[in-house]
Amino acid sequence: MKRPDKDIAASARMITRRGLVVGGLMGGVLGALALRMRNLQVEQAEQFRFLAEENRINIRLIPPARGLIFDRNGVLLAGNAPNYKVVITREEAGDVDAVLETLNSIVQLPEDDLDRARREISRRSAFVPVTVADRLTWEQFSEVAVNTPALPGIATEVGLSRYYPLQGDFAHSIGYVGPVSDYDLERLNDDDPLLQIPRFQIGKTGIEAKFEHDLRGSAGTSQIEVNAAGRVMRELDRQEGETGASLQLTLDHVLQNFTEVRLAGESAAVVVMDVDNGDIRAIASAPSFDPNKFVRGISGPDYRALLNDEYRPLADKTVQGTYPPGSTFKMVTALAALEAGVIGPEERVFCGGFHRLGTRRFHCWKRGGHGWMDLVDSLKQSCDVYYYDVSQRVGIDKIAEMARRLGLGTKFDLPMSAVSEGLIPTQAWKRANRGEGWQVGDTLNASIGQGFVLTSPLQLAVMTARLATGREVQPRLVRAVNDIPQAVSDAPSLGIRPLFLNLIQQSMYEVSNLRGGTAYGSRVTEDAYKLAGKTGTSQVRNITAEERARGVFRNEDLPWNRRDHALFVGYAPYDRPRYAISVVVEHGGGGSKAAAPIARDVLLQAMYGELPPLSAYPAHQRNMIEERQRNLELRPRQEPEQGRSRA
């Protein structure tokens, strides 16, 4: 039956409306898609291009070359050596154990290295290279390189590692670097991504640690293309990092080496300072150690040997060690008494061998006493009773004030590890720290550098430089950073009357140059190089009344660790001071016997710039000195690095 025209027209109108609706919807969807495509392809194109590149390109850090360290003449003290190493990639190696066994047959490797490599391989992704061994010799490296076709997954690489060409000569002052540890990351609180690189080397002690940020430099970057699995395909771009700053120290490698060698067999410390500008020319702690062993990680047996040595080679005795200064402190007491006006230059005190305080006797080192002593004689012969007497009149607080003016009890700002403040006691200090009042006996002990008084060899050298010049000389260890000279601190006058300083200087001259002086045996016979000084002997044990009654044990008859410390401070030349020195020989006995001869040799070496001539020594000592010089195993003089200026 034929549909009516009216129905057909209505159906057509409905289909048209539906078509329009569907078409409109489709047009809307297509429009929305077009707008979104425009947004993605035009407006967000850079963002998605970056995300795509990030999926394809990785950025890797390139460790910078560590800054170099030189002595004052441009001789290299800390440098960077090629580090030849072997790495393995597990996915390319196949049977890892078989490859490692073959590698070990070509170059014998420590079993510890192989075990560590196996552990690393098991923790890393198959495509990540793992270091099997580093610090190989060139011969070992070459042997592996030519055999790589037979070593699937093995590759050779060259990096940089710290080395110290003069070994132990500067171990305590420069310190050493080592692989960064979890403890270091917590201690440093440093977000530098370089610290996340496995086995990245940072300064652990000394100048290496104190100048870590300057020496470290900044990282470079390498853009590498990787596939979907993260495997490296090729390097696209490379930006080298910024090398760390170079440092030039005030130290002289020739004098430093001579000092270290001269201290052989002793547990001792020596500091040599330029009295004009405070430059430390030598700062030696003996015995020393080879810092190169710490760069990679010292072995257990080697570390225990250093740790158990009773001479304490790991301790820097020059700045960490504190010792009773003994009679080297008497110049402090004398100046305090002179300034307070309680004594005059000509005033004399009688020494009968002891000073009585109540029922107690304070003994002089000379059992029978020295007789009548004025200030110059008291220093020349190191009379204890003279200082017991004058200190009782001047008091501890004025003595402490003078000590600090001369640099004792001061923590100097040097880039070395654990610089000590020492101890210059006062009445207030004892109340605060011991909960007791100050006793007169405490003052008497302090007046001769015993009791609570503690000083470091660095402080004693500063004290001596100030006595020689009358100025507030400040020690310094860094001469230039990136060839930019570092400022020399001002050295204003100490404000001590020249008359008083001249008395102390005259006394120190007589100590070393006139008969009866405690250092006369270590005098210099060349008029142009005569030295002035003061010996000291500090007790490390109490001598009881019973022992005095039956006779005090000689140091030679006691165990080494119960013997007295030997000290000497001095400067030279006497009439135009250039260098100040302090020497401490742990348990060395008397200062005149153990410390003064070392000080003389080192000062002469500093002034001559080479082994001093025999003519500088008394005639009767020249055969002994010649034999000693012949047996010194000195390092040959080093040439400065090309382009480094000499001082």
Long-range contacts of 213-216 (CB under 8 A, 24+ apart): 214/67, 214/244, 214/245, 214/247, 214/481, 215/66, 215/67, 215/69, 215/244, 215/245, 215/247, 216/64, 216/66, 216/67, 216/192, 216/244
Q: Is 327 marked active-site?
A: yes
Task: Give the integer Cα–Cα distance in Å for 342 and 392.
Answer: 10
Total residues belonging to the chain:
647
* Rg of the chain over all Cα atoms, to the nearest angstrom: 37
Residue 454 φ/ψ, nearest 5 degrees:
-135, 135
**Cβ proximity of 605 and 598 under 8 Å:** no
For residue 156, the surrounding DSSP H or E stretch is strand 154-163
Asked if the bond preceding 152 is cis, omega within 30° of 0, the reply is no
Using alpha carbons, select from 261, 303, 312 the residue that is nearest to residue 560: 312
With contact defined as beta carbons under 8 Å apart, do 565 and 586 qualify? yes
Q: Which two tokens stand for residue 325?
A: 């200064």
Three-state secondary structure of 124-140: CCCCCCEEEEEEECHHH
Q: Determine the Cα–Cα distance for residues 382 and 373; give it in Å rounded to an integer.
A: 10
The rounded distance, in Å, linking the Cα atoms of 77 and 240 is 25
Q: Is the peptide bond before 573 cis (omega within 30 degrees of 0)?
A: yes
| Per annotation, catalytic residue among 327, 507, 538, 592 | 327
Residues 269, 583 contacting (CB under 8 angstroms): yes
Name the residue type at position 76.
Answer: L
Rounded Cα distance between 132 and 140, Å, is 13
Per-residue CA distances from 599 to 73, 204, 508, 593 (Å): 23, 31, 14, 11
β-pairing, 130-136 with 69-70?
Answer: unpaired
Label each residue of 343-385 as H, E or C: CCCCCCEEECCEEEECCEEEECCCCCCCEEECHHHHHHCCCHH
Enter the tokens of residue 636: 């040959």
What is the DSSP code (8-state) at residue 318? Answer: T
Beta carbons of 173 and 207 less than 8 angstroms apart = yes
Distance, in Å, from the CA atom of 526 to the CA atom of 540, rounded to the nearest integer, reads: 36
The tokens of 534 are what?
């003061």
Encode 71-92 in three state secondary structure: CCCCCEEEEEEEEEEEEECHHH
CB-CB contact of 76 with 110 (8 Å):
no
Question: Which residues carry out catalysis?
Answer: 327
